[in-house]
Amino acid sequence: MLILYRNFNICHNFTTLVTKVKMSRPTVLMSSPTIPKIAFDLLETRCNLVRTTTDSKNEILEKVKGVDAIFWASHLPLNKEVLENAGSQMKTIGTMSAGFNHIDIGELKSRGIKLGNTPEVLNDGVADVAVLLALGASRRLQEGRLKIENNEWNSHNQWMLGQDISGSTVGIIGLGGIGQAIVKRLKPFNVAKFIYTGHKEKPEGKTLGAHFVDLETLNKESDFIIVACPLNDETRGMINDDFLSKTKKTAVLVNISRGDVVNQEALIKALKEDRLFAAGLDVMTPEPLPSNHELLKMPNVVLMPHLGSATKKTRDAMAELTAQNILRGLGGEPMLTPVC
Ligand SMILES: O=C(O)[C@H](O)CO
């Protein structure tokens, strides 16, 4: 009897311990198998991880059930369906992205869920791509390659002339961290004037020697228009037919933000009608772009498949920051880079 009682006690204590350990080790869904190792290492010190073997929606919807937090490394919409499947205990999300237009913030707020994102750490990577696209589009990179491929190389001195960035006016839509990093990079190119638009004038603009203007002025004056603002209800379709009807014919448009800031049909039309010199796009609609899409057939469009933050260093930094946000959220501390 005594032995039985002792065994019961041991069992009981063990169960309590397991429950406690489980309680002190929250579960985190890692929504993609390709999340950098640094995030797994950090989170594993204090959490139990639920891993996925694919990036598929179905697997995420299945594995999210009952977790305490989500590491979101997917461009799939993070919406009511995902949250409902997760359950009401899930109160912490870290998204491995600076943009959060794919996340239903209203739904998160109504459920008291905390969200952190990864701004700043990708500024340099994305700004590099903006410069790459500005130069590539203005110097006819895609068209030049096609000329070689099609045996149309012609060396006369007026052949394939591009637009100069030196002496130009560069207009930045959205002087956030990425916009500022773009200005810093372009300064040594002897740009004549930097202008920017946004909600309000920024002290950083003064430091960088960039002038605050309204969107219309930016459009009218810019030789290079670089879209670096977040996608939201205000900016969706901002670059539309009307906007492009007032742009300089020699202007180059670069988009490193989100495809939907630009009305793509209007852009294609303007490029075809030679109302715009060229475009350099890291983002487009839809993503992935179908391989037979019209944009791919246009010689004056330089395209990249949303690679702005795609360097080893940047993605590691994004993963680490996401993991830290999750750990802080789970521990009841403020996230390092909170969205809500
Ligand atoms: O928002 C971001 O983090 C970048 O566009 C990569 O998705």
Annotation marks residue 306 as catalytic: yes
Q: Going residue by residue through the chain (340 aa), what tens digit of pLDDT does each one get?
A: 444 444 444 444 444 434 444 457 999 999 999 999 999 999 999 999 999 999 999 999 999 999 999 999 998 999 999 999 999 999 999 999 999 999 999 999 999 999 999 999 999 999 999 999 999 999 999 999 999 999 999 989 999 999 999 999 999 999 999 999 999 999 999 999 999 999 999 999 999 999 999 999 999 999 999 999 999 999 999 999 999 999 999 999 999 999 999 999 999 999 999 999 999 999 999 999 999 999 999 999 999 999 999 999 999 999 999 999 999 999 999 999 999 9
Q: What is the pLDDT of residue 12?
A: 45
Residues flanking ligand 1, CB < 6 Å: 97-99, 122, 308-309
**DSSP per-residue codes, 87-135:** -TT--EEEESSS--TTB-HHHHHHTT-EEE---STTHHHHHHHHHHHHH
| Tokens 């149309």 found at | 152
Position 121, amino acid: V
Q: What is the pLDDT of residue 11?
A: 43
Helices in 209-263 by DSSP H: which ranges?
Answer: 215-221, 241-244
Task: Please give the angle made by the CA atoms of 162, 164 and 169, to the nearest 5 degrees.
Answer: 130
Ligand 1 centroid – CA 15 distance (Å): 44
Q: Cβ(226)–Cβ(169) under 8 Å?
A: no
User: In DSSP terms, which residues pair with 171 in a beta bridge?
Assistant: 195, 225
Residue 160 is given by DSSP the state T
Q: What is the pLDDT of residue 1?
A: 40
Q: Which residue's CA is the nearest one to ligand 1's atom 3?
A: 97
- Bridge-based pairing state of the strands 48-51 and 27-30: parallel
Catalytic residue among 12, 102, 156, 306: 306
The number of beta carbons lying within 10 Å of the beta carbon of residue 291 is 6
Q: Which residue's CA is the nearest one to ligand 1's atom 7?
A: 97
Give the atom of ligand 1 at the shortest distance from the alpha carbon of 75. 7
Give the atom of ligand 1 at the shortest distance from the alpha carbon of 118. 3
Q: What is the pLDDT of residue 23?
A: 56
Name the nearest CA neighbour of 195 among 167, 174, 165, 164: 174
Ligand 1 centroid – CA 126 distance (Å): 9
Ligand 1 centroid – CA 90 distance (Å): 24
Ligand 1 centroid – CA 309 distance (Å): 6
Q: What is the pLDDT of residue 155?
A: 84
Give the atom of ligand 1 at the shortest distance from the alpha carbon of 257. 5
**274 in the Ramachandran plot: left (φ > 0), alpha (ψ -120 to 50) or beta?**
left
C-alpha to C-alpha distance for 187 and 221, rounded to whole angstroms:
18
* Token reading at 294: 């019209």
The number of beta carbons lying within 10 Å of the beta carbon of residue 83 is 20
Residue 296 is given by DSSP the state G
117, with CB counted inside 10 A (0-12, 13-18, 19+), is buried
| Tokens 């993605």 found at | 315
ipTM attached to this prediction: 0.93
